[in-house]
Amino acid sequence: MFGIAFLLVVSIAYAGVLNYYGKIEGTANVQPPAFIADYSDMSSGWKRLNINAFPETIGEVSFTDSNAFVFHTGALGITSFYPAHWKFHVTAKVNSPPQTLYLELWEVDPNDGSIKSKKCEANVTLDSTEYKTYTATCTSGEISLNPSYGLGYRLMGAGGPYVNYTIKVGEKICETPKICYNNPTTFIEVIPQD
């Protein structure tokens, strides 16, 4: 009995000392996310948009003019996203250059892939029938989101009726014959506003 009482008194005294001296102070460096296109299928019929993860599957997607293609995340479970610069990267080619390609950030219902509201947009001019990497940036204020929706990277052409756009989704890189990984080629880099 005496041992239990003694242990209780010592525990309370020790907790009091930790409460006074045990405060942790410091800073943390939080990196913003990157949204990376992946050739893996989503249940919606579109392809996946990973968050901070290299593509599991690589490939290419093609679409004709005035049509669009969407890579999207699952539900994010958040109600807002901080003001940011959205730097779009796309590795693409077109059968009859030059052509405009719209790069857009949308809120997307991950269940059916339907696009809900545009959050930011930019465009690039594709000037080659061979793959090239293009970048464009748009800026948004704070974005409001439905927590059961995700974000989507929508690409849409703006040429004539016979224009075909092809997007490269990842690229296999091998450092040695046994060490290979899928490098991102089409993605959105998030840069917080100052």
Q: Which domains does the chain have, with CATH numbers?
A: 34-192 (2.60.120.260)
Q: What is the pLDDT of residue 22?
A: 53
Q: pTM of the prediction? A: 0.83
Q: What is the pLDDT of residue 125?
A: 97
CA 88 to chain centre: 10
Q: What is the pLDDT of residue 1?
A: 52
pLDDT, averaged per 10 consecutive residues of the chain (194 residues), comes to 48 48 65 95 95 96 90 96 97 95 96 94 97 97 96 90 93 91 96 91
- Which residues share a beta bridge with 114? none
Q: What is the pLDDT of residue 25?
A: 67
Q: What is the pLDDT of residue 31?
A: 87
Q: Are strands 68-72 and 99-108 parallel, antiparallel or unpaired?
A: unpaired
Q: What is the pLDDT of residue 65?
A: 82
Q: How far is CA 27 from CA 18, 24, 30, in A?
A: 21, 10, 10
Q: How far is 68 from 86, CA to CA, in rounded Å?
A: 19
Q: What is the pLDDT of residue 8?
A: 45
Q: What is the pLDDT of residue 86?
A: 98
